[in-house]
Structure 1
Amino acid sequence: MRHVFPPAAPACVPVAGSDALFPVHRIFCVGRNYAEHAREMGFSGREPPFFFMKPADAVVPVTAGETGRLPYPTLTADLHHEIELVAAIGQGGSNIAAADALAHVWGYAIGLDMTRRDLQADMKKQGRPWCIAKGFDASAPISAITPAAQAGDVQHAAIWLEVNGQQRQASRIDRMIWSVAEVVAHLSAAWTLRPGDLIFTGTPEGVGAVRHGDVLEGGIDGLGTLRLAVA
């Protein structure tokens, strides 16, 4: 049996402090996982987590110490930043108990869930899926992945984002409505998780627009920083 054309190489993310690469299988994202962000988006309360997806090749890997290039996407005049902790799955499974979930996490990274907010709002008004607002090319910039054993106390780490040196987002991972372990448990009840899956775990309050020429720099304690220029 042969392919009708050569298959694309898998999307990969570098591993911090190593020449190894982490192959990406799927990208799952959690919506409204910080109470203050839920309120700024017009919602409140501890609703059950919900998920959306991005294609694996939406990742834009950025090596530590470098400034990545974030192309401004088409069809939007309102591109928003959403800084997030990313959990990289190394051991798959389904119906994973929250008490066992962190053993399935290979490592952690800093991610940006870039969003065409105007398209998202329009799709919501029409009751249509908003994949076009979330799953576009280069919509998932990500830092190198730090192995879990080297990430420190990431579950209680500070998370922040600056645009052109001005603070936009600042919070802590332990302010998530659903913890990383709970997110993995909920997600694995709906999909069988596979090695290589990335989970963007939600963004804190302070999301906002970026424009051509802006420089974004975000970080999570123990994971370094992620720096990008909007092309």
Structure 2
Amino acid sequence: MKQSPIHDAQFKSNRSPANDAPQEDVIDLNTLVTTLWRGKWIIGLTTTLAILVGAFYAFVAAVPIYKSSAVVMLETEQASVIDLQSVVGGLAGDTAEVNSELEVLRSRGLMGKVVDRLDLVSDPEFNEDLVPASALEGVKQFLQSMLGANPDEEQVSEELAKQLTRDDVITELLKNVSVRNVPQSLVFEVTAETESARKSALIADTIVELYVLNQIEVKFDATEQATAW
């Protein structure tokens, strides 16, 4: 028996997509606000703890770092004391010369002079041997001594120990110093970062000063040798 078109249309209208839409997609704002209000103490406590931890780290635990920069310019023209321009003339200022001078500014030899001039071996920021051992490290060393598990350390002379300490301080200084060539110029920028603003400025200025003195010494030695010849 055939259904009438009216019944068929009614059947289709009862199966409309609007009736099939899931009711779970509807957000009840009243329920959401009620849920948040019930957990207001937990939310407030969590926010307060986060603020306290951030404030403790910012004002107590974190160590401020100060940055200071000094600049020096590569001299490309220099008058000779004597008429030996080929021996003591200024640098050409090309890429090879600029890169060479960058390496001189970053060299361990120059940094060693800075360490000696400023006595950074006596500075706990650069000499970790001067930093007091933490409580955990003290307990570890105590247990090792009790158990006789101390590692066998090679006996070195006092002079060698001082040299090794100085090398470690130079390495630490290199980590805190950066040198760059200002683009499209013959200017070098030396930047030092330490826990003291005065110390950062002193280190940057000393590097530049000793670099200039080193260039003068090189020119003087070349002039002296040429004069003797």
* TM-score between the two structures when normalised by the length of structure 2: 0.23
Larger radius of gyration: 2
Instruction: Report the structure, 1 or 2, having the larger strand content.
Output: 1
Instruction: Report the structure, 1 or 2, having the larger helix content.
Output: 2
